[in-house]
Amino acid sequence: DTEVTQTPKHLVMGMTNKKSLKCEQHMGHRAMYWYKQKAKKPPELMFVYSYEKLSINESVPSRFSPECPNSSLLNLHLHALQPEDSALYLCASSLGLSEKLFFGSGTQLSVL
Amino acid sequence: AQSVTQPDIHITVSEGASLELRCNYSYGATPYLFWYVQSPGQGLQLLLKYFSGDTLVQGIKGFEAEFKRSQSSFNLRKPSVHWSDAAEYFCAVANMFSGGYNKLIFGAGTRLAVHP
């Protein structure tokens, strides 16, 4: 299995909703990442987890809350989002912190 | 600060023609450089990477890239483009030494269109 699987593929939510994005990999990778990509823009790093511990938070607003319950799973909990948070959210993983990244297909999020 | 510049926002080529996508980087030390491809609504797929050694790097799908330190460039090439190559291409530099994590800094991307 050489895939990073993200669910759901599409999500529409209101500004008062609470939702979660899920990312899963079974490649034994110990580093996992969340990236945000606005339309027609490059991806921007949000969070990095290494060995299930949060290593990097790129000054992301607290309405985004990451969670790494185990080495294969990475969640992104969403609460009280704004319409400008609408974007493609990409999960990635790597064997170690300095290894190449494998990306999932992303969750296309629309906040109404 | 590290940065990546892709001067061409949009490129159109005919199927079968050769392709070169430009990438210039700014990085203090020896850079770790990548090219990724993204189809609409999809994640990113790694085409090739340069860490050290031979400056001409071969990748998947017939792509290659050449690292030129004197020009701070890492241009992507393909001798004959296929219609399925139409996508967004991102050049990226990795900040490997800031806390040791793999932070990819992406260029703005080049959208490739292929005419039949």
* Residue of B84 and B51 predicted with greater confidence: B84
Rg for chain B, CA atoms, rounded: 14
Q: Which of B34, B57, B88, B102 to mutate to test the interface with A (most CBs of A within 10 A)?
A: B102
Q: Give pLDDT, residue A26.
A: 94
pLDDT by residue (tens digit) across B74-109? Answer: 999 999 999 999 999 999 998 765 555 567 889 999
A34: left (phi over 0), alpha (psi -120 to 50) or beta: beta
Q: How far is A105 from chain B (nearest CA, A)?
A: 4
- DSSP per-residue codes, A6-29: EE-SEEEE-TT-EEEEEEEE-S--
Cα–chain center distance at B106: 9
Mean pLDDT, residues A44-58: 91
- Residue B100 to residue A105, Cβ atoms within 8 A: no
Residue A22, token pair as written in the block: 């899920």
Split at pLDDT 50, 70, 90, the class of A48 is very high
- A5 with A23: CB under 8 angstroms? yes
The Cα A85–Cα A105 span in angstroms is 18
Question: Which neighbouring-strand residues pair with A25?
Answer: A4
- Residue A105 to residue B104, Cβ atoms within 8 A: no
Give the C-alpha distances (Å, rounded to integers) separating A34 from A55, A83, A94, A110, B33: 12, 19, 12, 17, 20
Q: Give pLDDT, residue A100.
A: 80
Q: Give the one of A55, A102, A108 whose C-beta lies nearest to B99's C-beta.
A: A55
Question: How many Cβ contacts (< 8 angstroms) between chains A and B?
Answer: 64
Average pLDDT, chain B: 90
- Residue A45 to residue B44, Cβ atoms within 8 A: no
H helix runs in B1-116, sequence order = none
Q: How far is B113 from chain A (nearest CA, A)?
A: 15
- Residue B41 to residue A108, Cβ atoms within 8 A: yes
